[in-house]
Structure 1
Amino acid sequence: MQIKESSEVYDVIIVGSGAGGGMATKQLADAGLNVAVVEAGPFFDPKNPEQMTQLKWPYESPRRGAAKTRAFGEWDMAYGGWEIAGEPYTHTEGTKFDWFRSHMLGGRTNHWGRISLRFGPKDFKHKDVDGHGDNWPISYEDVKPYYDKVDKLIGVFGTNEGLPNDPDGFFLPPPKPRLHELFYINGAKKSGIPVIPARMSMLTKKINNERGICFYCGQCSRSCFVYADFSAGSCLIFPAQKSGGRVKIFVNSVVREITTNEEGKATGVSYISKDDRKEYKLKAKVVVLAASACSSARILLNSKSKQHPNGLGNSSDHVGKYLHDSTGASRSGFIPGLMNRKTSYNEDGVGGMHVYSPWWGDNSKLDFPRGYHIEISGGMGMPNYGFGYDPNEFNKFFGLKVGGYGDRLRDDVKKYYGSVIHLGGRGEGIARKDNYCEIDPTMVDQFGIPVLKFNYQWSEFEIKQAKHMQETFEELLHNMGGEPLGEKPEKDSNYGLLNPGGVIHEVGTTRMGDDPKTSVTNKYQQLHDVDNVFIVDAGPFVSQADKNCTWTILALSWRASDYIIEQLKQQNI
């Protein structure tokens, strides 16, 4: 097959345009470098009327917003999903991993919850605390200056609380708790569980002329057309296009491999265009992978050559190993005190929680080694298909004869609407070498590229953590004067623990470390084997934390970008 090769040599090619790729684009372009961004999906701008879903009504769709065209609902802004036609992945028999992919400019940052938490000092050195896993080769103090920069550049609301492993930052004013969150605060207080304002990247105050202020429509998952929430396209890539460098974006371009020369050094990338199904090559001095932890591992494993027979950067045989995701379990409850709500005021708020509970437990007294935080949802957001009022649940568990047709149905919806609270735990699993992804030797996708095969199982630690979550949720719901909905998940369902990958926080496939025999990148996310290839997604994470990983991806990508700029100036790469 004839491959069309570009004659231009970019300073940097960045594969992927989400959190890590967006930040690298911004920093490298601002430094005056010529940057090519290669994205597997289409161009996206939430200001574009043809792409915008924000402020649309459920009745504008025959599906009333149901999850038929998109995995999280029709109005959610993610092009992709758990399953993508023509782009399969497989599993080792008896194991399970759910892989979510968002193929569009900005990637998953267009639809994520925007929970923006820093990892704490313990999170980088947790082996010293409990003996499990491995320490990072860097500390919180190495990353702190970049967390500070990210806070100021992007904006995050919250409050300084002085919690030792939930570090404070530079916060915008947080929104006030809504009624269902006040119920939660009172319930948590009875159990001694802390509740603090959420830390989320939506602008409650003006920070620059490029972005608007949140107007509390509660639809951040649709991506904000005034750029009040953080998405990589609107907040990083679009500003980078106006900076001193030059940014060229290649959309609908699926990277097959990183190309190398006779010395084994990277020369660029090869990609398939979705538009014409032809293969193209781009050249660059430096290649930066930011395609997401599993996609970046796939690209490296498929980049085989005489110099790299096991895949690029894989002399250690560690690419794909130590894959791990956040734990996740949830429970909902009916709170009678929230019945018959007044609807004459706007309770929408930001698209997500206004308060949350950071981990409070002492793991030395528990039967699992790592913690979790609690996310709270409920209230009176816009109803659509599956909005949280299920007459069958009320009938089954409370003997309430609700629902029906016409006026009776409308009256019951008004009576019970807003009376359900949802509690979700998001915690840390232990990174293990025997949880991994690899290339399936028998299957390719629609572009002829070998696909990933997953091997992942939860350990007893994660299952016991989920049990603790469920016990805590029941206690909190009862403290609020409520009753849990549905049967309590038990051991046969791993206490409601989501499948691995279900929280969409996968990390660790190209872990960093000082020893090239047991890691893939160094502490600056540079391949040990090839000095002009870097990885700035969550692949280099040594461990997850009881926090969402996006803020750490952003901080580490900025740190790696500074290192790339320095190394190019010194002509070391």
Structure 2
Amino acid sequence: MAFEIKKTGKVYDVCIVGSGAGGGMAAKILSDAGLKIALLEAGPKYDPADPDQMTQLKWPYESPRRGASTTRPFGDFDAAYGGWEINGEPYTKKNGTEFDWFRSRMLGGRTNHWGRISLRFGPRDFKHRSYDGLGDDWPISYEEVAPYYDRVDKMIGVFGTKENLPNEPDGYFLPPPKPRLHELMIKKAAGNLGIPVIPARLSILTRPVNKERSPCFYCSQCNRGCSVYGDFSSSSVLVKPAMKSGHVDLYTNAMAREVLTDSSGKATGVLYVDKTDLQEYSVNAKVIILAASACESARLLLNSKSAKFPNGLANGSGVVGKYLHDSTGASRSAFLPQLMDRKRYNEDGTGGMHLYIPWWGDNKKLDFPRGYHVEFGGGMHMPGYGFGFGMERMNGKYPGKDGATKAAGGYGAGLKDDYRRFFGAQVGFAGRGECIAREENYCEIDPNVVDKWGIPVLRFNYTWTDHEIKQAKHMQDTFEQIIHEMGGVANGTKPGADTMYGLENPGRIIHEVGTTRMGDDPRKSVLNKFNQAHECKNLFVVDGGSFVSQADKNPTWTILALSIRASEYVVDQLKKQNI
């Protein structure tokens, strides 16, 4: 017996699937233009200022779990409803793949808990094939995207400094916060090694940009969602003002199943499952914009089969789901003896690093292509559950207050005293680099598995190559050099070839892009340079799926810039009656 599909009874100008960076920006731009919008979100509504949802400024002991294993990957108070594993929403892998897929089911998506690292791609990042012969060039240049980066900077706010580095474009910056002690030590040590360290570029307000948002008050808890909207989250900064326009209808707990099309192949709406009543509904619109994340949007297209699109919507090229790639990632931590017995003072700052290392290497002199940046951690932040020493060096012996050596830890007063002595003496390094997009890395529909909503799930195929492994080795060598120059002691054994030098599983850095890549040739790409599907003129994809290549930068600022560009193209094409 077939279930009846319920229709909303309203035809919108635009239906947007996903409310993260790309979807939120599309909702803002299109609502400002006066278009009537349906915004579909697979999770619940979220507002970090809502007392019932707010987790900012709570002590660890206020968690209802009180030390039990957390239900969220980044901690009990993290503003991410989801994770790499979600009950009832599986995904599968083949050929020994170790891909981990992060989903954030909530208004604003992943932008609620990310690190706010807001870097522009540079001129070289759009044209890498022209430099090293690997991958493909984008069909657009930095010069074409730069005006949209400028608008994102001014609309949202990002701190930083003008550095005039060739492939690290400067923008419109707010004043950066002062470096912390451990960051100054890293800067000095790295400088001695010829490695540049510059102020970080984070989308956190160090002074006001409008009346709706207050500047950061340096609680260092951006991952919990900001109650004064001092950092960038799509839910607070884009969707909230878009909703005030009166032009946006928000559909929460709406799990999109497929994009509907007519006999001519034109997109007519989106079919979704309401997670509260398990009924299927359709939302009809003149234009469909997918912004559900690179893999989720690919899943939607692959599940949208019809007589005209037997391999999935807009997939005549067979490229949907292919060229999937995530940032590389490797990390190391260290103990700094000179930071023991520190005087207590407020060192929280913003919820992220105040300094970072942009890519500085010359690939012509290295054994791998592309590059990475380095993020720092450390300081005297509020300890969480399980705070300890994490120190396995110097045979576990440390200088006591009387000058004699002793083993750290124990119990009672001695344990508490050691906690105080070692607090703030740890520093961490995390490399985030570029993986080269390859057709062999992809996601596809698993023919045998569905999720709890009855929707066929994704199956992943992914491997790292020597390019990425050698890049991770270079990361570890760099961390070791800086730690030694600082007079620190690296924690644990240096990762070696047996672990691919600590290279994280693909998907763990949560920067996956490329599954609906743009290009000028419809035989080799899914979208044109305006994020518009080659084979379906009223269908657009504005998440990271459109990326031809990743860079040694985080993708969010580029997603936002391209979403503005695509959204204004939608407005223009609607006016010209081309879609």
Distance apart, 1:369 and its partner CA: 0.3
Instruction: State the match for 2:557 in structure 1.
Output: 551
* Aligned pairs (5 A) from 1:298-337: 298-337=299-338
Name the CA distance, whole Å, in 1 between partners of 2:249 and 2:346: 42
1:387-398 alignment to 2 at 5 Å? 387=387, 389-390=389-390, 396=396
**Cα distance between partner residues in 2 of 1:263 and 1:66:** 55
Give the 5 Å matches for 1:67-216: 68-216=70-218
How far, CA to CA, are the matches of 2:5 and 2:267 in structure 1? 18
Rounded Cα–Cα distance in structure 2 between residues aligned with 1:481 and 1:405: 29
Call closer, same or farther: CA 1:554–1:41 in 2, change over 3 Å: same
Tell me the equivalent position of 1:518. 524
Please give the secondary structure, in 2, of the residue aligned with 1:562. Answer: helix
In structure 2, the partner of 1:384 is 384
Aligned equivalents of 1:423 and 1:63: distance in 2?
30
Q: Is the 8 A contact 2:397 2:407 kept in 1?
A: no
* Structure-2 change in CA distance of 1:169 and 1:333 (3 Å): same
2:388 and 2:217 map into 1 onto residues whose CA distance is 24
Contact 1:216–1:350 (CA<8 Å) still a contact in 2?
A: yes
2:220 to 215, 218, 240: 218
What's the counterpart of residue 465 of structure 1? 471
Amino acid at match of 1:307: K
Note the C-alpha offset of 1:93. Answer: 2.7
The aligned residue for residue 368 of structure 2 is 368
Whole-Å separation in 2 of the counterparts to 1:569 and 1:67: 54
Determine the structure 2 residue equivalent to 1:229: 231
Alignment partners' CA distance in 1, 2:431 and 2:47: 32
Structure 1 contact 65–384 (Cα < 8 Å) conserved? no
CA distance in 1, matches of 2:53, 2:393: 36
Distance in structure 2 (CA, Å) of the matches to 1:456 and 1:219: 34
CA distance 1:65–1:365, shift in 2 (3 Å): farther
**Shift of residue 49 of structure 1?**
0.8
- Aligned counterpart, 2:254: 253
How far residue 386 of structure 1 moved from its aligned partner, in angstroms, is: 3.5
Which residue does the alignment assign to 2:298?
A: 297
Change (3 A) 1:408 1:103: same
* CA–CA distance in structure 2, aligned partners of residues 79 and 143 of structure 1: 32
SS in 2 for 1:9: strand
Relative distance call for 1:432 and 1:67 in structure 2 (3 A) is farther
**Equivalent AA in structure 1 for residue 50 of structure 2:** N
Q: Distance in 2 between matches of 1:66 and 1:113?
A: 25
Q: What corresponds to 1:506 in structure 2? A: 512
CA drift of 1:390 comes to: 2.8
Distance 1:552 1:466, change over 3 A: same
2:452 corresponds in structure 1 to 446
Question: Equivalents in 2 of 1:197, 1:188: separation in Å?
Answer: 14
CA distance in structure 2 between the partners assigned to 1:64 and 1:172 by the alignment = 39
Q: Kindly state the Cα deviation for residue 392 of structure 1 after the two structures are TM-superposed.
A: 5.7
- Rounded to whole Å, the distance in 2 between the matches of 1:47 and 1:500 is 34
Q: Do the aligned partners of 2:396 and 2:407 also contact (CA within 8 Å) in 1? A: no
Q: Deviations over 1:448-490 (max 9, x none)?
A: 1000000000000000000000000000001110010011100
SS of structure 2 residue aligned to 1:188: helix
In structure 2, relative to structure 1, the CA distance for the partners of 1:266 and 1:326 (3 Å cut) is same
Secondary structure at the aligned position of 1:465 is classed as: helix
SS of residue matched to 1:241: helix
CA contact (8 A) 1:63 1:385 kept: no
Seen in structure 2, the aligned counterparts of structure 1 residues 412 and 552 have a Cα distance that, compared at 3 Å, is same
The separation in 1 between residues aligned to 2:264 and 2:243, in whole angstroms, is: 33
The CA distance in 2 between the partners of 1:268 and 1:413, in whole Å, is: 58
Match of 1:55 in 2: 57
Identity score, percent: 66
- Return the alpha-carbon distance in structure 2 between the equivalents of residues 445 and 85 of structure 1: 9
Cα 1:168–1:64 shift into 2, 3 Å: farther
Give, in angstroms, the shift of residue 389 of structure 1. Answer: 2.8
1:68 shift after superposition = 1.3
Q: Could you state the TM-score of these two structures normalised by the residue count of structure 2?
A: 0.97
**Matching residue of 1:560:** 566
Whichever residue aligns with residue 502 of structure 1, its letter is R
Deviations 1:282-333 (A, max 9, x none): 1000000000000000000000001110100000000000000000000000
Q: Give the counterpart letter for 2:193 in structure 1.
A: S
Unaligned runs of 5+ in 1: none
The Cα offsets for residues 114-163 of structure 1, whole Å up to 9 and x where unpaired, read as 00000000000000111100000000001000000000000000000000
- The answer as to whether partners of 2:518 and 2:529 remain within 8 angstroms in 1 is yes
Matches within 5 A, 1:467-482: 467-482=473-488
Secondary structure of the equivalent of 2:330? Answer: strand
Report how many aligned residue pairs link the two structures. 571
Q: For the residues of structure 2 that align with 1:129 and 1:388, how far apart are their CA atoms?
A: 46
Letter in 1 for 2:571: I
CA shift for structure 1 position 496? 0.1
- Map 1:37-48; keep pairs closer than 5 Å: 37-48=39-50
What is the CA–CA distance in structure 2 between the aligned matches of 1:219 and 1:473, rounded to whole Å?
A: 26
Partner of 2:273: 272
SS at match of 1:539: helix
- 1:385, distance to aligned residue in structure 2 (A): 1.3
Q: 2:397–2:408: 8 Å Cα contact kept in structure 1?
A: no
Contact 1:378–1:420 under 8 Å retained in 2 = yes
User: For 2:65 and 2:396, how far apart are their aligned partners in 1?
Assistant: 27
Deviates more, 1:67-76 or 1:271-280: 67-76
CA distance in 1, matches of 2:397, 2:18: 47
The answer (yes or no) to whether the contact 1:67–1:73 under 8 Å persists in 2 is no
What root-mean-square deviation, in Å, do the aligned CA atoms of Structure 1 and Structure 2 show?
Answer: 1.2
